[in-house]
Amino acid sequence: MKARARFSAVSPAVLAAALAVWAAAAARSHEPGLTVMTFNVRYDNPKDGPNAWPARKGLAAKTLLFHKADIVGMQECLR
C-alpha cells in the first residue's frame, strides 16, 4: 500500500518535469517548417470601379511578398 501512495506522489512530479522540458523545447522553435497561404484574388470585373483589379493588383502582390509563404493557393485567377 505504501508503494502505491509513493508512486502516485512521484507521478505528478515526473509529469510536471516532462511538461516543462516539452514547453522549453517548443518555445525555442519559433519558425514553422512550412508556411501555407490561401488568397482569393477575385476576378477582374470592370464594374467594380475603384475595387477593380488594376487598383488591387499592387496590394495583392505586396501581401504575397510580405507573408513569404512556401505554398500559395489562389482562387478566382483567370491566368
The domain total for the chain is 2
| Closest-CA residue to 57 (of 77, 71, 38) | 77
25 and 35 within one domain: no
pTM of the full structure: 0.53
Structural domain range at position 39: 31-79
**% helix, strand, coil for the chain, step of 5:** 60, 15, 25
One-letter amino acid for residue 11 of the chain: S
User: Residue 76 corresponds to which cell in the numbers above?
Assistant: 478566382
38 and 20 within one domain: no
Say what the pLDDT of residue 31 is: 62
Q: How far apart are CA 31 and CA 46, in angstroms?
A: 41
22 and 38 within one domain: no
pLDDT averaged over consecutive 10-residue blocks of the chain (79 residues)? 55 72 70 82 88 90 92 87
Say what the pLDDT of residue 4 is: 55
39 and 3 within one domain: no
Say what the pLDDT of residue 2 is: 57
48 and 25 within one domain: no
Say what the pLDDT of residue 34 is: 86
| Closest-CA residue to 71 (of 42, 37, 43, 44) | 37
Farthest CA pair distance, the chain: 81
66 and 52 within one domain: yes
Say what the pLDDT of residue 67 is: 92
Say what the pLDDT of residue 16 is: 73
